[in-house]
Structure 1
Amino acid sequence: MTGTAAPAPPPTIHAGCVLVDEAGILIRGASGTGKSRLALALVAGAQASGRFARLVSDDRCSVSASNGRLVARPPAALAGLLEVRGLGLVEMEAEGAAVVRLVVDCDTEAPERYPQSTDRTVTVEGVTLPRIRVLAGEGGVTAAVILGLLPRFERPMLHVLSER
């Protein structure tokens, strides 16, 4: 034994993550706020319009900062599983990781109509990301809005480079 400790695993948070095109969407919220329903609606909505979409993780997510980006991965025990209320755990095709471009917080109270600019971002593991607050349980409507806005958050460096 060399005495060197193995690196600590990245922290897990109570959140799910989906990958749409090249953008990871981290979905946070308390139990019962519709995180899994929103994840399923995002994947189904994106796939229905011909876009690439897959589950990364449901309920728990390992997150770590890497080169100024937040990377989300499923904990091994939950990889490829999605909880559907009334059915239990169902298997889904899943990705092993995603670079998070957007954080969606499912709240039990309606978000402000015009949020303060300080409420439009959140810092996770030292990485500041755009954030949208949504009312819990409005998965289908919320998914449509998020999918419509997502191009604003995808591959931000390419948008900066293309403006030159």
Structure 2
Amino acid sequence: MSATVLANVTGVIVGGRALLIAGPPGAGKSALALALIDRGAMLVGDDAVSIAREGGFLTASPPPNIRGLIEVRNVGIVELPVASGPVALILQLDPEAPRYPLDVALRSIEGLEVPVLNFAAGDAVQALRAEYALSLHGLPLPKRRENA
């Protein structure tokens, strides 16, 4: 199983599912991830995430070269525990994201479609909003075979 590394993507595990946060440098990916981690999420990777196809779903894992490291702006590099999980949603950070999404785009990764939601980060409740986005627009947890 080969992995694809997605650059400029930070990933966290929320409720067993991987939430990927995409955007250019300085967009707020790490800040949103830290807010989610403060609410109980686990880090997958900061500014890079390894993606591998496993049957009908994608698994997000920490890339080996930066495993467990996250940049805390104005503080430095911090080491955190990491996790892996099935990809459910990509939040594309965009300060001009519409207030009410009319439809959710799809992005093909390793031949599978993943929902992509434009998302304005930066306010005080961004982590809570991200959790609602995952709940409303994210893919469900994949069904595991009992003998797998």
Q: TM-score, normalised by structure 2?
A: 0.82
Per-residue CA deviations over 1:38-79 (Å, capped at 9, x if unaligned) read: 11111212x2xxxxx211111111112221211111111111
- The two structures, once aligned, show a CA RMSD in angstroms of 2.1
Q: Which residue of 1 aligns with 2:115?
A: 130
1:76 is matched by which residue type in structure 2?
A: P
In our comparison, the structure showing a higher alpha carbon Rg is 1
Q: Which residue of 1 aligns with 2:134?
A: 150
Q: 1:115 to 1:91 in 2, by over 3 A?
A: same
Q: Which residue of 2 aligns with 1:75?
A: 63
**Whole-Å separation in 2 of the counterparts to 1:154 and 1:126:** 15
Q: What secondary structure is seen at the aligned counterpart in 1 of 2:70?
A: strand
2:89 maps to 1:105:
no
Which is richer in helix? 1
**Whole-Å separation in 1 of the counterparts to 2:18 and 2:27:** 20
Q: Which residue of 1 aligns with 2:47?
A: 59
Identical aligned pairs, as a percentage? 33
Instruction: For structure 2, list consecutive stretches of 5 or more residues without a partner in the other structure.
Output: 144-148
Q: 1:157 to 1:13 in 2, by over 3 A?
A: closer
Q: TM-score, normalised by structure 1?
A: 0.75
Instruction: For structure 1, list consecutive stretches of 5 or more residues without a partner in the other structure.
Output: 1-6, 48-52, 159-164
Q: What secondary structure is seen at the aligned counterpart in 2 of 1:113?
A: coil
Q: What secondary structure is seen at the aligned counterpart in 2 of 1:13?
A: strand
Q: Which residue of 2 aligns with 1:39?
A: 33
**Whole-Å separation in 2 of the counterparts to 1:120 and 1:135:** 16
Structure 1 residue 85, shift from structure 2 partner: 0.8
